[in-house]
Amino acid sequence: MSKNVAVIGSGSWGMALANHLTEMGNDVKVWSFTEEEKNLINNERKCMFIPDMVLDEKIYCSNDVVEVVKDADYIFHVTPSKVTRNVFKQYKDYVKNKPIVICSKGLENATLKTLDEVMLEELPSAKIAAFSGPSYATEVVKHIPTAIILASKNDDVLDEVSSLLMNEYMRIYKSRDVIGVEVGGALKNIIAFCAGICAELNLGTNAQSALITRGLAEITRLGVKMGANKETFFGLSGLGDLILTCSSDESRNRRAGRLIGKGKTIEEAKKEIGMTIESVENIEVAKKLAEKYNVEMPIVNAAYDVLYNNLKPKDAVNKLMTREIKFEME
């Protein structure tokens, strides 16, 4: 049975999901921040960030978020993490009992909260799910097989949203560990950023493998302290997404790291990539969380020093490699 679905955000992932949801037989309205993107979607059936994609005729785009949300059965929220609260405030009075699926990967800088915590703070009655995992938008629109995790504490939401999304090229796995799925999705971007620096420095696959492994250890240590299940980080939203984003320049976070490795400033990197770089937004948050929970995160600290304390990438690598010898599982 066809459903009315709201997609809040018209970036590459938002539009890939919008197209997928229409292909599943649903009617989709998209909210875009800009008039330019709205006209491109409605008049030319194109996505600014995936030029080869031809959008389904059933997708309608508006700059009025209330228009998009008010008649929806489900809401998919796909904005950058730094604007999640402000955008949610604009439509929270129209949510009622509609499930909200958070498809953004990030944390709120000012409060150090996960995005589900942000929404529940604004609307305690909200039925929240988090959608994460190794999923390049460009591959989803080409119907390349993709496995994603959907997390919620509400079993009805898990069942309904899974049925809304799953077909022969998008497989859904369910989880009740919302914190773990959100933390894994947010922090893997930082490790991908570091992987880009390593790639630009020609450090090879030995170093990349070490980075992924030790990066996962840092993410897991912090996530567990925040209340997540350790096992979650060895699944799709942790290890799965780490392998994806650390291994390919399709990842904007890895591309940003490459640019920093070339000696560009972060402002130059942002301008060249032209999209939100969640790793840059969240490195400072991760450092503050590590301090708050007293968790050792040397890779995150090194990335912070490169971005904010003028540490040269090569010196950051040397600093990491010459740390005190430890047992691996400490």
Give the residue numbers annotated as catalytic, written as ranges. Answer: 188
Distance CA 272, CA 80 (A): 18
Distance CA 273, CA 269 (A): 6
Helix, strand, or coil (residue 30): strand
CA atoms within 13 A on the CB side of 244: 24
Distance CA 184, CA 279 (A): 12
Pairing of strands 4-8, 27-31: parallel
Helix ranges restricted to H, the chain: 12-23, 35-44, 65-69, 84-91, 115-122, 137-140, 155-165, 178-200, 204-225, 241-247, 252-261, 266-273, 278-292, 298-308, 313-321
CA atoms within 13 A on the CB side of 307: 25
Task: Give the C-alpha distances (Å, rounded to integers) separating 284 from 94, 96, 111, 231, 305.
Answer: 33, 34, 12, 26, 10
Helix, strand, or coil (residue 98): coil
Q: Under 8 Å CB-to-CB from 110, ≥6 apart: which residues? A: none
Beta bridge partners of residue 6, listed in sequence order: 29, 75
